[in-house]
């Protein structure tokens, strides 16, 4: 982790509500909510190292299946340091992302009546190539992805933020903040740390230093702060919770994913549910290590749990604390608790968020 010097800062800013949020006191548990029930989707940009461990592909499926709630504004590649151990390592990341979007076949779902979901053509236009190597940002480091992120973020404001979900190293995001620091007030970040931080600690530390030196009010959930293994809230999406019967990390794939989907009118040899990759660790499982960022945003609307403006509340995507409330009013990290306790803030809701996804897979039938 970077330096964490103390500093006095203003009180937390009050955020206006853009989307209709349901507090934990107004539960919608076990109800399907139409997109017409609230005025706007939540705008998100995904920064992903898809191309290494298949869990990013797994999370991409979930992301697109919930594009009736999340308005995907961009999918940007970020460096992956594990390519050599995977069969698709010769395919450029942006091309691979597009291939999996095609495999998921959103137009099939839209043609079946789920027109609130985003279409394939629109999604393909949103894929951008970000940083290719882990590194600190520099004057010459800008990429298509970092510039796209920056220009997109300029269209938003503090009271109407763009959510940046970081599923890998923070390389591309750090470059965007380096080149266009004014976007700091327009974005909210939910990043998955742990190994991702180890792969590019320089970019993560740049974002922390940016918060310390440039903009203390930066809004950031850092799930799984170092040292690795100490908290790792995100692992609750696949460790612990209801794992019996069809809800287990192997059984869910076999019972609820395999055989589903399409071949996109013969473009692919397998249906998307049969091509759905399982993790290399834990081997052969549904891992979805980046999905807590998705679950955090959909939790109030689908599960009736939490408030996206307050990470200290319980939610499907975890529960967090302010690390330095007087210094950084909007910086949230794992609870000061054991890994099991941190992960339980997600896995306690496992049956709810897996049952809802099962219904979305059934839409292919």
| Residue 172: φ, ψ to 5° | -70, -40
Token pair 């049969």 in the structure block, residue: 274
β-bridge partners, 40? none
- The full length of the chain comes to 365
Q: pLDDT grade, residue 280 (50/70/90)?
A: confident
Q: Which of 71-85, 183-197, 286-300 has the lowest mean pLDDT?
A: 71-85
Helix axis angle, 93-104 to 55-65, nearest 10°: 50
Instruction: Give first-to-last CA distance, the chain, whole Å.
Output: 47
Identify the pLDDT of residue 82.
57
Exposed/middle/buried for 322, CB within 10 Å: 0-12, 13-18, 19+?
Answer: middle
Identify the pLDDT of residue 18.
37
**Mean model confidence pLDDT for the chain:** 89
Non-local (6+) Cβ contacts of 151 within 8 A are none
pLDDT tens, position by position, 36-55: 344 479 999 999 999 877 99
Identify the pLDDT of residue 359.
98
pLDDT tens, position by position, 80-103: 655 455 554 556 789 999 999 999
59 vs 287: CA distance, rounded Å: 9
Instruction: Identify whether 324 is part of a domain.
Output: yes
Instruction: Identify whether 306 is part of a domain.
Output: yes
Instruction: Identify whether 22 is part of a domain.
Output: no
Instruction: Identify whether 35 is part of a domain.
Output: no
Asked if omega into 247 is within 30° of 0 (cis), the reply is no
Instruction: Identify whether 4 is part of a domain.
Output: no
| Domain span at 260 | 40-364
| Number of domains the chain is built from | 1
53 vs 283: CA distance, rounded Å: 10
Q: Looking at residues 208-216, what average pLDDT do you find?
A: 98
Identify the pLDDT of residue 87.
52
* Strand intervals (E) in the chain: 42-48, 70-77, 127-128, 162-167, 187-192, 219-223, 320-322, 331-334
Instruction: Identify whether 174 is part of a domain.
Output: yes
264 vs 261: CA distance, rounded Å: 9
Instruction: Identify whether 62 is part of a domain.
Output: yes
What CATH number should be reported for the domain holding residue 252?
3.90.245.10
What's the token pair of residue 84?
Answer: 């050599």
Instruction: Identify whether 87 is part of a domain.
Output: yes
Identify the pLDDT of residue 13.
33
């Amino acid at each position: 982790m970077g330096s964490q010097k103390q500093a006095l800062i203003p009180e937390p800013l009050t955020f206006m509500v853009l989307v209709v949020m349901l507090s934990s006191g107004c539960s919608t548990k076990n109800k399907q909510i139409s997109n017409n029930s609230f005025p706007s989707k939540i705008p998100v940009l995904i920064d992903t190292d898809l191309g290494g461990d298949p869990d990013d592909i797994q999370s991409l499926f979930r992301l697109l299946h919930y594009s009736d709630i999340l308005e995907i504004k961009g999918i940007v590649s970020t460096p992956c340091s594990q390519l050599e151990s995977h069969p698709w390592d010769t395919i450029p990341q942006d091309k691979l992302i597009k291939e999996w979007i095609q495999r998921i076949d959103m137009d099939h779902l839209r043609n079946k009546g789920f027109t609130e979901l985003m279409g394939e053509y629109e999604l393909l236009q949103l894929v951008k190539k970000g940083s290719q190597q882990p590194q600190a940002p520099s004057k010459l480091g800008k990429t298509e992805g970092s510039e796209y992120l920056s220009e997109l973020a300029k269209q938003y404001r503090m009271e109407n933020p763009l959510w940046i979900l970081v599923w890998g190293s923070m390389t591309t995001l750090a470059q965007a903040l380096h080149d266009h620091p004014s976007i700091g007030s327009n974005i909210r970040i939910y990043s998955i740390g742990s190994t991702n931080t180890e792969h590019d600690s320089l970019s993560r530390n740049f974002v922390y230093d940016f918060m310390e030196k440039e903009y203390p009010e930066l809004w950031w959930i850092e799930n799984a702060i170092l040292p690795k293994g100490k908290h790792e809230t995100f692992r609750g999406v696949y460790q612990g919770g209801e794992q019996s019967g069809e809800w287990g990390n192997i059984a869910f794939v076999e019972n609820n994913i395999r055989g589903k989907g399409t071949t996109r009118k013969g473009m692919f040899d397998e249906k998307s549910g049969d091509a759905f990759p399982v993790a290399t660790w834990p081997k052969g499982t549904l891992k979805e290590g980046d999905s807590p960022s998705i679950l955090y945003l959909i939790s109030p609307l689908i599960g009736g749990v939490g408030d996206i403006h307050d990470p200290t509340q319980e939610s499907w995507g975890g529960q967090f604390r302010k690390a330095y409330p007087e210094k950084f009013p909007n910086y949230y990290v794992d609870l000061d608790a054991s890994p099991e306790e941190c992960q339980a803030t997600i896995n306690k809701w496992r049956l709810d968020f897996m049952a809802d996804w099962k219904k979305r897979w059934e839409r292919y039938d």
